[in-house]
Amino acid sequence: MQYGSVCSGIEAATVAWHSLGWVPSFFSEIEKFPREVLAHHYPDVPIHGDFTTIEANQYGSIDLLVGGTPCQSFSIAGLRKGLDDDRGNLSLEFIKLAQRERPRWLVWENVPGVLSSNGGKDFGSFLGALGEIGYGFAYRVLDAQYFGVAQRRRRVFVVGYLGDWRRAAAVLFERESLRGNPAPSREKGEKPDPTVTSGPPFSRTGNDRVECDAYIPEIAGSLDTQCGGGKLTHQSANNGHLVLEREITGTLTARMFNSLGARDIEEGAIHPMAFDAYNQEETKQVSKTIASRNDQDTASCIAFQSNAMAVRRLTPTECERLQGFPDGYTNIKDKCPDGPRYKALGNSMAVPVMKWIGERIQMVEQLTHERMSA
């Protein structure tokens, strides 16, 4: 399959679709650093600038057009001018390019704020324009955390197919998710499933035990909060067993050399940190990742800077992993600055999500070919 990519960034689509055997006909990007990344990895692919100037078949016919037009005008963090913003209006320019190129497939991505921009009218205008030029479409919010990367990244994806909405819907929606079958209910007299921590006959806090008023094994207790001391409270929703709890729970424990608990933090022995820190020796400039354990060697996202501890920022390599890119993908030259790498990765689509969409499109293409051959 031949495809064209606009607002290409550092090309999550091409990284995702390379294994499918799909070939890019052109990229379109105006930012300097992403263009350098594209030229480094794909020297044989033409890199256009402003995609609104691409003429019909300028780079040959394509089967698919993909792009994530700028999201700033739709984001809830911005001014939300929507289509009145030149950047927001590029979503309609994407449709104009689709009308000139006439690919079978379209894939468009943006932030969830596009759904509510201008009371939903902006997104309605986009979808209405798609329909006017002959595309059936489906849209869905997909979250990258469910596709194998360690970040919550929700994005709206619109898939269009020339003349048929059903094929677009078959890409974004699995049959199982459309059945609407509720989970089976329990039969009368069945025991309920336990909660996350099923209440035992007693609650343990350190070396102390607080006996239950009554213990009913058929009913699980609610979550227990445990501290070294404090007032007694009825923490269980069902059987009323007693648990020790402070009026105010402590922050996450920060440990250094000796074990220090919530009371130590409250009394100012150390400052609470964003992550649990248990370091036996200085980690110098860059600390290990969260909960990295090897026998007694434990480190976390805490780094030493000028004899003081601070929560370190993610490295560019970690950001590449969060988006599903190979390590070093944006490290294209000696002493490559981190700033442009962070920006390019932050503006990119998540590779695993794009791969899933590509695989679903390929599946529909294969099924269509088989039916036509039968």
pLDDT, one tens digit per residue, over 129-182 is 999 999 999 999 999 999 999 999 999 999 999 999 999 999 999 876 655 566
Q: What is the per-residue pLDDT for 116?
A: 85
- Is the domain of 7 the same as that of 154? yes
Specify whether the CB–CB gap between 147 and 356 falls below 8 A: yes
306 belongs to a structural domain: no
Write the CATH number for 97: 3.40.50.150
141 belongs to a structural domain: yes
- Is the domain of 175 the same as that of 263? no
Strand bridging mode 154-162 / 277-279: unpaired
Q: For residue 188, count CB atoms less than 10 angstroms from its CB and return exposed for 0-12, middle for 13-18, buried for 19 or more.
A: exposed
Res. 319 pLDDT band, cuts 50 70 90: very high
Q: What is the pTM of this model?
A: 0.66
- Is the domain of 155 the same as that of 229? no
- Is the domain of 231 the same as that of 107? no
327 belongs to a structural domain: no
Average pLDDT over residues 346-355: 96
Please state whether 14 falls in left (phi above 0), alpha (psi between -120 and 50) or beta. Answer: alpha
98 belongs to a structural domain: yes
Q: What is the per-residue pLDDT for 63?
A: 97
- Is the domain of 169 the same as that of 209? no
Q: How far apart are CA 20 and CA 162, in angstroms?
A: 22
Give the position of tokens 């599946």: 363
Residue finishing a domain among 271, 291, 306 = 271
Residue finishing a domain among 245, 271, 297 = 271
Q: For residue 247, count CB atoms less than 10 angstroms from its CB and return exposed for 0-12, middle for 13-18, buried for 19 or more.
A: exposed
The predicted-structure confidence for 139-149, as pLDDT tens digits, reads as follows 999 999 999 99
Q: How far apart are CA 54 and CA 125, in angstroms?
A: 23
- The answer to whether residue 11 scores a pLDDT higher than 60 is yes
The predicted-structure confidence for 224-259, as pLDDT tens digits, reads as follows 444 444 444 444 444 444 444 444 444 444 444 444
- Is the domain of 6 the same as that of 124? yes
- Is the domain of 42 the same as that of 158? yes
Strands annotated E in the chain: 2-6, 23-28, 47-48, 64-67, 105-110, 135-143, 154-162, 202-205, 208-211, 231-234, 242-245, 254-256, 277-279, 292-294, 297-299, 302-305, 308-311
Residue finishing a domain among 255, 271, 287 = 271
The predicted-structure confidence for 265-288, as pLDDT tens digits, reads as follows 444 444 444 444 444 444 444 444
Q: How far apart are CA 96 and CA 89, in angstroms?
A: 11
Q: Which domain holds residue 231?
A: 187-271
The predicted-structure confidence for 100-133, as pLDDT tens digits, reads as follows 999 999 999 999 988 988 888 888 989 999 999 9
- The answer to whether residue 320 scores a pLDDT higher than 90 is yes
Mean pLDDT is lowest, of 39-43, 87-91, 269-273, 358-362, for 269-273
Greater model confidence, 48 or 210: 48
- The answer to whether residue 61 scores a pLDDT higher than 50 is yes
- Is the domain of 161 the same as that of 61? yes
Q: What is the per-residue pLDDT for 307?
A: 56
- Residues 6 or more apart whose CB falls under 8 angstroms from that of 159 comprise 105, 106, 107, 137, 138, 139, 168, 171, 172, 357, 361
- Is the domain of 62 the same as that of 146? yes
Residue 47 tokens, joined: 């890199």
- Is the domain of 135 the same as that of 114? yes
Greater model confidence, 44 or 186: 44
Q: What is the per-residue pLDDT for 369?
A: 85
Question: In the predicted model, what is the mean pLDDT of the chain?
Answer: 75
* Secondary structure of residue 320 in the 3-state scheme: helix
112 belongs to a structural domain: yes
- The answer to whether residue 8 scores a pLDDT higher than 70 is yes
314 belongs to a structural domain: no
258 belongs to a structural domain: yes
- Is the domain of 148 the same as that of 191? no
Res. 37 pLDDT band, cuts 50 70 90: very high
Average pLDDT over residues 338-360: 96
278 belongs to a structural domain: no
- Is the domain of 123 the same as that of 161? yes
Share of the chain above pLDDT 90, in %: 49
Res. 71 pLDDT band, cuts 50 70 90: low
Catalytic residues: 71
Q: How many domains does the chain have?
A: 2
